[in-house]
Structure 1
Amino acid sequence: MTRAAVALLRFRHSHSPKHRFDMEGMGNLQVTKEGVRLEGVSEFLLPLYVKEIQSRRDSPLILQSDRNVTVNARNDQGQLTGQLTVGSEMVEAQCQRFEVRSTDGQTVLFSADEEEITIGTEKLRVTGNEGVVFSHSVETSHVRAEPFQDLKLESPTRTLTLEAPRGVEVNAGVGDFTASCRKDLLLQSSEGEIFLDANTIKLGNIPFGSAVDPLEGAPAGTTYTKQTVYELCACANGKLYLSPAEKGSTCQTTSNFCLWS
């Protein structure tokens, strides 16, 4: 028997089973065919280098520290290629590409790198009361509200622009569609036409035309308050106004309105 074996036997018989040191391990540490097994709470004061850390089948794996818990990945040259840090105030991941996959590992649910962020789920749900704030442009094929909820696209201080190479469709299946702004609302088609198709088309707050009657000497700005039926007229700049409806057109006689518009 070698001196090491004799010393091992002496150590085994001179200590209690709780602190034993034998061929199967030492204390809570046991050497098995699958590797090294630790029972209970274990504390490591120096770095631990292992190929795999696995918990028991009926117990979770807990990594605990009074400060941060950091997991590093390095290449063959020892250079840091990935890092995950769990702190008291934030969780930080440092890597070339960050991915969150489905339970089967086939679908990428979320990914982020230096070029872009990709969300692979069929639905992106934002539950905050203030909605989503984008500092720059947003590229998407579909924006939809929850069932029985309103969808609102708003730019409080700047212009809201919707662009698409083959058309923009705004559809409210069972509700109203409202577009409002403080200044000008521009509907422009460079090659096609603007088509309004509805059972009823109403134009509100259209001003009344005015004219100077050379015989009566009526001043400019005279309106026809007793008139109930009007003709819709247009100025050269495209502005609309109402003129009293008679047997013939009265737009020419009330065109003085265009000079003041």
Structure 2
Amino acid sequence: MTQDQCPHRNNVQSTEKPYVYKVGIYGWRKRCLYFFVLLLMILILVNLALTIWILKVMNFTIDGMGNLRITEKGLKLEGDSEFLKPLYAKEIQSRPGSPLYLQSSRNVSVNILNGSNLVSQLVAGSHGVHTRGKMLEVKSSRGKLLFSANEQEVVVGAERLRVMGAEGAVFSSSVETPHVRAEPFKELRLESPTRALFMEAPKGVHILAEAGDIQATCRSDLRLKSNDGEITLDAKTIKLLRLPEGKASPTGTRQPVFEICVCPNGKLFLSQAGTGSTCQVSNNVCL
């Protein structure tokens, strides 16, 4: 079929308008998109404002934040600081010329660990201060040892140990010391209420009272013993009270003078003096 035979087709195509397809978002979808974009911008502005406010309140700077400063030597805190979790640090020191305070509502614990093993511990709480470790040492500012304690012994390195209690010092076992002295114008008492009291020294025991009396009181026996040396009582007057008196000889004159006799078992007794020794005659006390 040729073109002349169908003229109406060209006329129809020429009279029809071309259909245009619109590309984009229109209607309620466009309004929702603008609303979400506006809401996102508001959130960004609010977030930015809150960020600036937090930076201002927390005092964020290049060196740190708030009272916390980052220096070459570590962290520097100014003012009061509160830690809610454990603090691990190599060294903690205060500002020059200022004290260091460790404050807690319950207790303050300082633990030294060797791996997972507890080596030393210091706990300061409402019930007191408790320490745990192999040794405890207290030294002066010059490095002199003042006090040390371990499982074997307790050493007091000060020149003088003063006990201020009214009852004095109580020792459940032996005490080793080169010198025991009371304070000036005070009495020195060595007392064992329920047991015996022993004073021993490899080179002797020296008891001296320069401005007072020496009194030794016991319930049963008082023994002065020297293995290799002698016992010296150096005084202007020596009194032996309540010594038993031996049986006087029936013959001879009675004299007001007595001599001190010693039994083989160590007992002392008095015997009336005569021209010779009367200890053998009056030795009935030794029986």
Contact 1:12–1:20, Cα closer than 8 Å, also in 2: no
Contact 1:12–1:22, Cα closer than 8 Å, also in 2: no
2:83 matched to 1:41? no
Match of 1:239 among 238, 243, 267: 267
Residues in 2 aligned to 1:154 and 1:173: alpha-carbon distance in whole angstroms: 20
Is 14-23 or 90-99 further displaced after alignment?
A: 14-23
Alignment partner, residue 109 of structure 1: 146
The SS at the match of 1:62 is coil
Residues in 2 aligned to 1:255 and 1:22: alpha-carbon distance in whole angstroms: 105
Q: Give CA deviations for 1:30-74 in whole Å, capped at 9, x if unaligned.
A: 223333222332221122222222222243221111111101112
Residues in 1 aligned to 2:231 and 2:59: alpha-carbon distance in whole angstroms: 89
- 1:186-197 alignment, distance < 5 Å: 186-197=223-234
Which protein has the larger Cα radius of gyration, Structure 1 or Structure 2? 2
The one-letter code matched in structure 1 to 2:220 is K
- 1:54-203 alignment, distance < 5 Å: 54-75=93-114, 77-104=115-142, 106-203=143-240
Is 144-153 or 130-139 further displaced after alignment?
A: 144-153
Alignment partner, residue 53 of structure 1: 92
Residues in 1 aligned to 2:150 and 2:279: alpha-carbon distance in whole angstroms: 63
The SS at the match of 1:91 is strand
Is 197-206 or 249-258 further displaced after alignment?
A: 249-258
2:246 matched to 1:209? yes
Residues in 2 aligned to 1:115 and 1:235: alpha-carbon distance in whole angstroms: 46
| Percentage identity across paired residues of the two chains | 54
Residues in 1 aligned to 2:263 and 2:151: alpha-carbon distance in whole angstroms: 54
Residues in 2 aligned to 1:56 and 1:156: alpha-carbon distance in whole angstroms: 55
Alignment partner, residue 32 of structure 2: none
Gapped regions of structure 2 (runs ≥ 5): 1-47
Q: 1:189 to 1:169 in 2, by over 3 A?
A: same
The SS at the match of 1:15 is helix
The SS at the match of 1:30 is strand
Q: Give the number of aligned pairs.
A: 239
Residues in 2 aligned to 1:184 and 1:31: alpha-carbon distance in whole angstroms: 77
Contact 1:211–1:257, Cα closer than 8 Å, also in 2: no
The SS at the match of 2:187 is coil
Residues in 2 aligned to 1:236 and 1:53: alpha-carbon distance in whole angstroms: 75
Higher relative contact order (CA 8 A, sep 6+): 1
In terms of fraction of residues, the more helix-rich structure is 2
Residues in 2 aligned to 1:120 and 1:230: alpha-carbon distance in whole angstroms: 53
Q: What RMSD in Å do the two structures reach over aligned CA positions? A: 2.9
Gapped regions of structure 1 (runs ≥ 5): 1-8, 215-223
TM-score, with normalisation over the residues of structure 1? 0.78
Q: 1:10 to 1:56 in 2, by over 3 A?
A: farther
Is 167-176 or 120-129 further displaced after alignment?
A: 167-176
- 1:1-12 alignment, distance < 5 Å: none
Q: 1:72 to 1:144 in 2, by over 3 A?
A: same
Contact 1:11–1:20, Cα closer than 8 Å, also in 2: no
CA positional deviation for 1:85 = 0.6
Alignment partner, residue 4 of structure 1: none
Residues in 2 aligned to 1:13 and 1:249: alpha-carbon distance in whole angstroms: 116
